[in-house]
Amino acid sequence: MMASLQSALGGPANGQPMRRGLRKQSPGDDARFKVGSCDELVERLETMNLNVDLSARELAKFLVVNLEQLNDEEMDRVADVLCNSAVEHGNVYCVVDLVLNAIKNVRFQDACAASLSNSMTEYFTQEEKPKPVDEESETEEEVKPELRPMHPNLPEFLANLLVANYPRPYHRAIDASNVILFTIVSFVKGWLEVLTQSREQQSKDEEDDEEDPEAAKTLERSALALVDLCNAAQRRLWLKFPELTDEIYLESKRTITESTRLSSKLKKSLLEVLFMMNSWPKAGVTNRASVQTQTC
């Protein structure tokens, strides 16, 4: 009877248990993804930025198969290409998937962390290049230049890297496990420290009417980065990093009520984040993350 049933279901009719497994990978499978130089690998990876019929799986293969042959300078170049594709071309999810596939390579982790650090420095010190617009379309409600940092989409990329499902043992935000996660958590704690120091310093400088422009810009961008990161990560931030989420919540609350230096617009944004965070522990809460279509 069991033999007949197995036969009807497409299994072996001799009563032997079906053995299912992955097809063994032949050496030729990797050979077709081998490239001769870093330039060729970069060219393949940059197809993410174009309408090219190349799947994310194929891109991951090109990346993983060729990583070991890269020297440190070439590894840095590949990391910069990936970060640029995510931040400047909107390929956040594709790049996060590539990072997950290559996370076992420690040199790749270091290169990505360094690239993220460079981008974060530019985020705080440089302005986004203005886009050409018609004078008639400009309004008084446009975002001020100081609130449009270079790489404005960087916090969204960091958020998706932060809450990604890394394989063990690369899932912890410590230097020995995952340098990328460790670096991003350090960024977030640094933003929180800026908000804390600003609150504490303002009470000492009440008699001083003049405010340091650079300190004001750093404060605004730290708050903006926190808002954008929380909006992108949504409930997954609380699920994966509950203690860090608590730190963000407490400092945001204090900044809203105590800071006289942060703009009312960003205070409002922080308040909206607090309302959103209050709903995260509730069962059945859906993310408000926007749906984006990507080509890979």
Mean pLDDT of 2-9: 46
Q: CA 296 to CA 246: how far, in whole Å?
A: 35
Q: What residue segments make up the domains of the chain, in order of their start?
A: 34-126, 178-283
Q: CA 196 to CA 191: how far, in whole Å?
A: 9
Q: CA 134 to CA 140: how far, in whole Å?
A: 14
Give the C-alpha distances (Å, rounded to integers) separating 211 from 201, 214, 221. 11, 9, 16
pLDDT in tens, 40-81: 888 888 888 886 667 778 888 989 999 999 999 999 999 999
Residue whose structure tokens are 């926190």:
226
Q: Does pLDDT of 102 surpass 70? A: yes
pLDDT at residue 21 in the model: 43
pLDDT at residue 55 in the model: 78
pLDDT at residue 138 in the model: 47
pLDDT at residue 12 in the model: 47
Compute the mean pLDDT over every residue in the chain, rounded to the nearest whole number: 82
pLDDT in tens, 190-236: 999 999 999 988 877 665 556 688 899 999 999 999 999 999 999 99
Of 36, 109, 33, the closest CA to residue 76 belongs to 109
Q: Does pLDDT of 136 surpass 80? A: no
pLDDT at residue 142 in the model: 46
